A and B are shown apart, each in its own frame.
Chain A
Amino acid sequence: MIIDITKCGYRRGYLPRGGVGVFHAFFPTANAAFRRDALRAAGGFDPRCATGEDIDLCIRVARADYELWFEPAARVTHFHRYTLRGLARQWFHYGYGHAYLFRKYGPRRRLEFFRYDRSEGGGNPFGIARVLSIPSPVTGMVFLSPYHALHLCLVLALLGFAAGPAAVGWAGLAGALAFAARYFGPRFDRARPGRSAALAGIRYLADSAYVLGGLLGGLGQGMLFLEATFRTEKRTRQARAASPAEPRSDERLETPAAESVDAA
């Protein structure tokens, strides 16, 4: 449930009612509607959510055995002042709030690792895969991405040059360069280098705010929480069945495309 629509790209139709680990489909409340009975069954918004109360509610509505329908023709325009400061603050708060959701729905005393699923069209509708789930005294969610690998290598390089054998430092530096290329490279448009560099810088700032917010939010929840970062590659179109033109009476989503959210 941590990743929003932002990284999913829904199509018109039913959304999967299961999640991948704690990643779940949801509708931002800037444009969402609920059946009163579903709200009653789900129990309304959770006031303990700093952010992500819309994700939390959609999870509970889905668990109450109601379908989620995405209707892109119902449009809302959001007027916003876009500033770097506002962007950083917004993603910091998203990260911070998501830690609570992981604590609420995620497994206890397990360390789970996720990454973007690069297999074309396969996997799951979120394009996210859980790569490992192991018992651990510390509860945690770790997202693996070039961003995280880049910083891990930088730490390694600093340690290597400061205290350890210099070879470790050089290895860390080489790794950092390689992952920096993976992080910045795929989106770089050679025809517009200045613009590409600026957009990459903005992405780096947003990712950093998101990860930092998640880390601090996770500490508050007594867990290790390494938030997902933006995709480094342009998303490939996912192969999925054509969406129904209209919802039909008594229709249920036939095959839950993803596993259920782990029981709290």
Chain B
Amino acid sequence: MTRPSRLRASVVVVTKNRPGMLAGLLASLATQSLAPDEVVVVDNDSALSYDAVFHEYRDRLPLRTVVERIPGIPAARNRGIAEATGDVILFTDDDCRVEPDWVERMVRPFYLNPHIGAVGGEILSESRVGGLVEEFCVEETLMRMGRPDEDAA
């Protein structure tokens, strides 16, 4: 396997009827230590308009937008893969925010070892509601990722 000198990074996001949430994600993608080569937003047939959000970020991100009418996340992500041109395709969700070094840290292992086919990162959780249900979710699910040390406490 020959290693390309530079891996192009595409971010693929599927969204439906959450332009406000997507704007938050795009804001976090616009300030990356390693800028993605493209951000492909797949609108899974939303009723709400994304025009304002796309207009706002078109100058700040290498944004590509497509509409996938077939419902369901797998089909929409496959559409994103088909549209993306990068050597590495990064996935996140429209209700997430990525840290400023996210793209850099996710892409780096692919450079270091050509046998690596998938990289996963940590998912933290933040709620606007809080309460015991969140406490449960955090304890049982999201915080377990990569935090076995705290887990054992």
Q: Is A8 an interface residue (CB 8 A)?
A: yes
The interface residues of chain A lying within 8 Å CB-to-CB of B113 are 67, 69, 247-251
Contacts of A74 in B (CB 8 A): 99, 101-102, 105-106, 119, 121-122
In the complex, 6 of the A-B residue pairs with CB atoms within 8 angstroms, ordered by the A residue number, are A31-B122, A45-B74, A66-B115, A69-B116, A78-B126, A249-B113
Contacts of B81 in A (CB 8 A): 39, 44-45
Min CB gap B115→A, angstroms: 5
Name the B residues within 8 Å of A247 (CB-CB).
Answer: 109, 112-113, 116
B56 interface contact, C-beta 8 A: no
B140, A203: Cβ atoms closer than 8 Å: yes
Residues in B whose Cβ lies below 8 Å from that of A136: none
Asked whether A234 lies within 8 Å of B142 as measured between CB atoms, the reply is no
CA distance A65 to B123 in the complex (A): 26
Residues 85-119 of chain B, each 1 if its beta carbon lies under 8 Å from chain A, else 0: 01111111101111101100111111011111111
Check A68–B149 contact: CB distance below 8 A. no
Asked if A58 is at the interface (CB within 8 A of a chain B CB), the reply is: yes
Point out the residues of chain A lying under 8 angstroms from B145, CB to CB. 5-6, 9-10, 72
Are B121 and A75 in contact, CB atoms less than 8 angstroms apart? yes
Which residue in A9, A12, A81 is a CB contact (below 8 Å) of B127?
A: A81
Contacts between chains A and B (CB distance < 8 A), count? 269
Q: How far is the CB of B22 from chain A (nearest CB, A)?
A: 12
How many interface residues does A have (CB within 8 Å)? 76
The complex places the Cα of A237 from the Cα of B142 at a distance, in Å, of 17
Contact A12/B146 with A35-B118, A78-B126 known, Cβ cut-off 8 Å: yes
Inter-chain contact A236/B21, CB cutoff 8 Å: no
Cβ-closest chain B residue relative to A45: B74
CA distance A2 to B99 in the complex (A): 28
| Known contacts A11-B146, A36-B88, A82-B129; is-contact A68 B110 (Cβ 8 Å) | no
B interface footprint on A81-103 (CB within 8 Å = 1, 0 otherwise): 11110010000000000000000
Question: Chain B interface: which of A46-54, A107-115, A144-152?
Answer: A46-54
Whether B92 pairs with A76 at a CB distance below 8 angstroms is yes
CB-defined contacts of B105 to chain A, threshold 8 Å = 71, 73-74
Q: Would B135 and A67 count as touching, CB distance under 8 A? A: no
The reply to whether the CB of A188 lies closer than 8 angstroms to some CB of chain B is no
Known: A76-B96, A87-B133, A199-B135. A33 touches B88 (CB 8 A): yes
Chain B residues closer than 8 Å to A104, beta-carbon distance: none
Per the bound structure, the CA–CA distance linking A36 and B137 in Å amounts to 32
Check A32 against B91 for contact (C-beta < 8 Å): yes
Q: Which residue of A lies closest to B117 (CB)?
A: A66
Instruction: Give the chain B neighbours of A12 by CB distance below 8 A.
Output: 146
A10 to B70, CA, bound (A): 34
Known: A30-B93, A36-B89, A75-B122. A64 touches B117 (CB 8 A): yes
User: With a CB–CB cut-off of 8 A, which chain A residues contact B119?
Assistant: 27, 32-34, 68-71, 74
- Are A11 and B148 also in contact (CB < 8 A) when A33-B118, A72-B122, A74-B105 are? yes
> A235 at the A/B interface (Cβ < 8 Å)?
yes
